[in-house]
Amino acid sequence: MEPNKAGVEPNEAGLKPNGTDVKPSVAPGVRLGHVSFVWRPWLVGVTLLLAAATFLVFCVSIGVGDFPIGLPQVIATIFGRGEQVDEFVIMDLRMPRAMAGLLVGVALGVSGAITQSIARNPLASPDILGITWGASAVAVFLVTVSGGTAAAIVSSVGLSAAALAGGLGTGLLVYFLAWRRGIDGFRLILIGISVSAVMEAITNWLLVKADIRDVARAQVWLVGSLDDRSWDGIRVALWCTLGLLVVVACVAFQFKPMHLGDEVAAGLGVRYSRVRAVLLLCAVLLAAAAVGAAGPVPFVALVAPQVAMRLARFPTPPMVASGLVGALLLIGSDLLARAALPVSLPVGVVTAAIGGPFLVYLLVRANLK
């Protein structure tokens, strides 16, 4: 197997490979039968705090709207002890949107954590790997070329599923194009950039040909939005995401040498490369499911794992914490877009407004060190 450059490149670029910021902690191991893990109080504490914060923002987000509901009522209703009016507004009208935000945020965060860990490069997020553009191209194709008629036949459920398929297809295409006696993180990123460009060109061409009303609809698809979510609309994403998270949880346990590099992993046996492939596939599917539900919300997959890593003081992006930061970021941005801004904007605009400067900050700080 070729020496993996990915671990070196980001360092040269000024961005550190995951983890050199923090000292690897020496922590006591715990063994319960076949399952063994390392007891890290800081990581567990941060994760619990993040979970609490996510739940709080989730409830606040549900409470905000044309018919404001106080936080205590929201929490009471969620646990099944609310009044009937509140219950209708919350469970039928607001919950799907908040749930979509939660799912998409968690999916993007975990997906980013996996790809960044495997490529050992903070750049390797689903945004860069072309998955989001592939999904968008398919969605825009359905919205525009079919002139709205097929879009009517393909109901919103079908559109999400189609976008999911597009994202998955593009992700696999990038993976196979980048495969050359192994996967090199740097090559994966560059191939991803080029495939993204093709998908972007196709999308732009579709937009030129389309009717202006369809374009406005498609444009929302190009930036990521949580508007008009219903339980039907998020059903595909819901089951996909939950299923995938279970798979990731089962598999990730077996992949301790994720951040040790290809050589070490190879030396530890074939099982690890198989586990790695499964994880990467899950990452692609998670990202595709997220895009299917909300469009290509930019930067969440890139930013969340990096933030989680710093909060948790952990050498690689921690999975659970990354997912929670992703959810926090997405629901928080959506809340900001709805409640704090004068015009209502798609959530993707807000995450980009946060993510772009964050990326630049990472870059400048790493360079000045």
Partner 1 sequence: MGTTTVERPAPGGTKGARRRRVVGLATLVVILVVTGAVSLAVGARALSPAEVWHGLFAEPDPDRRLTEIRLIVETVRVPRTVLAIVSGIALGVGGALIQGYTRNPIADTGLLGVNTGASFAVVTVIAVFGFSNPFQYVWFAFLGAAVAGVVVFGLASIGRGAGNPLTLALAGQGITVFLAAMTTAVALSDQASLNALRFWRAGSVAGVGFDVIWPVTAFIAAGLVAALTTLPAINLLNLGDDVARGLGVNIALSRIVGIVAITLLAGAATAACGPIAFLGLMVAHVARYLTGPDYRWLVPYAGLLGAIVLLVCDIVGRLVVRPGELDAGVVVALLGAPFFAGLVWRGKFKSA
Which residues lie near partner 1 (CB under 8 A)? 5, 9-10, 12-15, 123, 127-128, 177-178, 180, 184, 186-187, 190-191, 193-195, 197-198, 200-202, 204-205, 207-210, 212, 215-216, 219-220, 222-223, 298-299, 343, 345-346, 348-349, 351-353, 355-357, 359-360, 363-364, 366-369
Quick check: 180 and 187 in contact, CB under 8 A?
yes
C-beta closer to partner 1: residue 50 or 195 = 195
With 0-12 CB in 10 A as exposed, 13-18 as middle and 19+ as buried, what is 5?
middle
DSSP string, 290-317: HHHHH---TTHHHHHHHHHHHHHT-SS-
C-beta closer to partner 1: residue 5 or 256 = 5
Measure the CA–CA gap between 301 and 275, rounded to whole angstroms. Answer: 21
Coil vs helix vs strand at 338: helix
C-beta closer to partner 1: residue 56 or 207 = 207
C-beta closer to partner 1: residue 282 or 330 = 330
C-beta closer to partner 1: residue 42 or 361 = 361
Minimal distance in Å, beta carbon 190 to partner 1? 4
Minimal distance in Å, beta carbon 239 to partner 1? 29
Minimal distance in Å, beta carbon 139 to partner 1? 15
The 10 Å CB-count burial string (b at 16+, else e) for 168-189 is bbbbebbbeebeeeebbbbbbb
DSSP state of 258: G
DSSP string, 43-75: HHHHHHHHHHHHHHHHHHHHH-SSS---HHHHH
C-beta closer to partner 1: residue 99 or 188 = 188
Minimal distance in Å, beta carbon 207 to partner 1? 4
* Alpha-helix residue ranges (DSSP H) falling in the chain: 9-12, 41-63, 71-78, 84-87, 95-119, 131-144, 149-153, 156-178, 185-209, 212-223, 231-252, 262-267, 270-294, 300-312, 319-335, 347-368
Minimal distance in Å, beta carbon 39 to partner 1? 36
C-beta closer to partner 1: residue 25 or 204 = 204
Minimal distance in Å, beta carbon 188 to partner 1? 9
Minimal distance in Å, beta carbon 262 to partner 1? 15
